[in-house]
Amino acid sequence: MAKGKSDSLFKLIKSLKKSEKRYFKLFVTQIESGKGKKFIRLFDLIDKQSDFDEDKIIAKDSIIKADQLSNLKAHLYKRILQSLRQYNVTKVLDIETRELIDYSEILFNRCLYDQCLKVLQKAKKRARKNDNLELLLEIYKWEKLVINNTVGPDNQNRANKIVAEVQDANNRINNINTFTNLAVKLNSFYLKLGFIRNKKDYDKIKNFFNASLPYYEEDQLSFNEKLHLYDLMVSYCFFIQDFEKGYGYAKKWVGLFEGSKDLISARLEMYIKGLNSLLIAQHKLWRYNEFVESHRTLRNIKNIPGIELNENIQLKLFKYNYVHEFNRYFMLGEFAQGVARFNKFKTNLEVYINRLDEHSKLIMFYKIACLYFGNADHRMVISWLNKIINTSDIDLREDIHCFARIVNLVSHYELGNTDVIEYYIKSTYRFLLKKDDLHLYQKYILNFLKRLNKEMTEEKLLEQFKNLRDQLLPLTSNRFEKRPFIYFDIISWLESKIQKRPIQEIVREKANVVIFGKNAA
């Protein structure tokens, strides 16, 4: 079996929609004549396979020879990409603009300078509409070549104008590159650590950020410059847990698109990312009514006319929609409804979850575990947390790994698994020390669990719950100790044990006061 061979072609074919497959067959028939049938035959054979297997393809069709298959696959792969480019040329403005630039090059090489310039003007109009600075620079390059090969009374003015436009585009591109480079570096820190843990982390990130951020005048920035600036500022604010300030930048980010709705289609991924950032901030700040409205906007993206939902966009919409649906249940304390909805779509969700990147999987696993925790189904909590605890890449989001172990310990306590708690306490303690993440929050919980035993009276147990709550409450207002409460609402759990009531009721009462009480006022 030829399972070890490259399956890139297989994956590409499987990614195609029905309409794209039809277009490809028409496209290849028109340009390949005699070879077209062989391409279509190979295409259909691969499309029908559930797992890629070259040996079966060769055995199935005598026309396809083993010694020809490698070249045939490479040529078919190229033709599929060409057909996809042609299929999307009128749907994706950047592709259409690049095509015009290609046409201008062809005309230039034929010395048809006037025609070349007309095509470049069309391309420039589209590039400006899309605020694509890189394509504008490519267009300016060809305009300069045309000027150098033509003579006219206004050549000097044309040259000065293009030089100024190139300089402006270069300045804006430099700003965007600076913003995006800094964002990438911040993201690498975040993917390892999660939110800042202490003053040392804070000072390190703050000093690095301030030293790297260039001077800028916000009102002088273009759409794309602002877009990447706000993306950067939101990432920084979230990293240092300044959700109020992050909320302000996220609103500006989404507001950019509200003022330029025609750019939503061209910058759809950034629009979705901006909405996701705004929803995160609204969730952290308990701005429930705004959160519901933003989530409705996110869900309705698929209904925007002219929007192309490719696989990448569909996967992001799936991820963000479900994460924020879970967040809504957390805000309201409606854990039973959340679990019921999750179970209803569980099979479909698991298929999508398996397609997510490792970081997104960790977030999803933890959210689902916390949903089950709120519903007091601790066996399922442990089951989902084990997907995090047993992963090999523990350097990815160390904070999630740390708190997964804390919640796992609490769930074992809830199930009465006292025989394994001591082992898990030692294991968790070693893990937290190794990751330099043993703070007061973790120490208090571990010490609390150590003191519990089967012989403890109900009165003594109640006293232990109250003591732990009193130890943890002051930490909620400490800048560097409040981080754990972002991950797990242990105060509500303790109050549920003290009051002998379900945690859902406790969280729901808090929601009524914090969310709806404010609105009533």
What does the DSSP assignment read for 275-289?
Answer: HHHHHHHHHHTT-HH
pLDDT at 154 over 70: yes
| 299 belongs to a structural domain | yes
Check residue 150 and give its pLDDT: 83
Asked whether residue 68 falls in the same domain as residue 192, the answer is: no
Check residue 34 and give its pLDDT: 62
Which three-class secondary structure state does DSSP give residue 478? coil
- Worst-scoring range by mean pLDDT, 124-138, 184-198, 485-499? 184-198
Question: Which residue stretches of 333-393 are H helix?
Answer: 335-344, 346-353, 358-374, 378-389
Asked whether residue 79 falls in the same domain as residue 175, the answer is: no
Asked whether residue 63 falls in the same domain as residue 187, the answer is: no
Asked whether residue 57 falls in the same domain as residue 173, the answer is: no
- Alpha carbon distance 442, 447 (integer Å): 8
Q: Do residues 425 and 443 touch, judged by C-beta distance below 8 A?
A: no
- Alpha carbon distance 402, 384 (integer Å): 15
Average pLDDT (149-161) is 82
| 2 belongs to a structural domain | no
Check residue 433 and give its pLDDT: 73
Average pLDDT (97-108) is 95
Check residue 348 and give its pLDDT: 75
**Sequence-separated (6 or more) residues with CB below 8 Å from residue 418:** 452, 453, 454
308: left (phi over 0), alpha (psi -120 to 50) or beta: beta
Q: 3-class secondary structure for 401-424?
A: HHHHHHHHHHHHHHCCCHHHHHHH
| 141 belongs to a structural domain | no
Asked whether residue 288 falls in the same domain as residue 175, the answer is: yes
**Single residue among 69, 88, 107 that ends a domain in this structure:** 88
**Single residue among 284, 305, 326 that ends a domain in this structure:** 305
Taking CA atoms, 485 is separated from 242, 317, 325, 442, in Å, by 14, 27, 20, 11
- Alpha carbon distance 360, 383 (integer Å): 18
pLDDT at 479 over 60: yes
pLDDT at 139 over 90: yes
Q: 3-class secondary structure for 166-221?
A: HHHHHHHHHHHHHHHHHHHHHHHHHHHHCCCCCHHHHHHHHHHHHHHCCCCCHHHC
Asked whether residue 297 falls in the same domain as residue 175, the answer is: yes
**Sequence-separated (6 or more) residues with CB below 8 Å from residue 170:** 137
Average pLDDT, the chain: 85
| 382 belongs to a structural domain | no
Q: Where does residue 382 rank: exposed (0-12), middle (13-18), buried (19+ CB within 10 A)?
A: buried
- Worst-scoring range by mean pLDDT, 51-55, 187-191, 285-289, 317-321? 187-191
- pLDDT, tens digit, 9 for 90 and up, residues 4-20: 456 889 989 988 889 99
- Alpha carbon distance 234, 273 (integer Å): 11
Q: Do residues 270 and 245 touch, judged by C-beta distance below 8 A?
A: no
pLDDT at 141 over 80: yes
pLDDT at 521 over 60: no
| 31 belongs to a structural domain | yes
| 94 belongs to a structural domain | no
| 236 belongs to a structural domain | yes
Asked whether residue 194 falls in the same domain as residue 298, the answer is: yes
Q: What is the span of the domain harbouring residue 66?
A: 8-88
Can you give the CATH number for the domain in which 262 is found?
1.25.40
Asked whether residue 83 falls in the same domain as residue 193, the answer is: no
Q: Do residues 107 and 99 touch, judged by C-beta distance below 8 A?
A: no
**Sequence-separated (6 or more) residues with CB below 8 Å from residue 361:** 353, 387
Nearest to 142 by CA among 201, 177, 101: 101
- Alpha carbon distance 94, 88 (integer Å): 10
Check residue 192 and give its pLDDT: 67
Tokens of 58: 């060769």
**Single residue among 88, 119, 151 that ends a domain in this structure:** 88
Asked whether residue 175 falls in the same domain as residue 293, the answer is: yes
Task: Label residue 193 by pLDDT band (50, 70, 90).
Answer: low
pTM here? 0.76
Q: Do residues 54 and 9 touch, judged by C-beta distance below 8 A?
A: no
- Worst-scoring range by mean pLDDT, 93-107, 180-194, 244-258? 180-194
Average pLDDT (372-381) is 93
| 263 belongs to a structural domain | yes
Asked whether residue 82 falls in the same domain as residue 173, the answer is: no
**Domain count along the chain:** 2
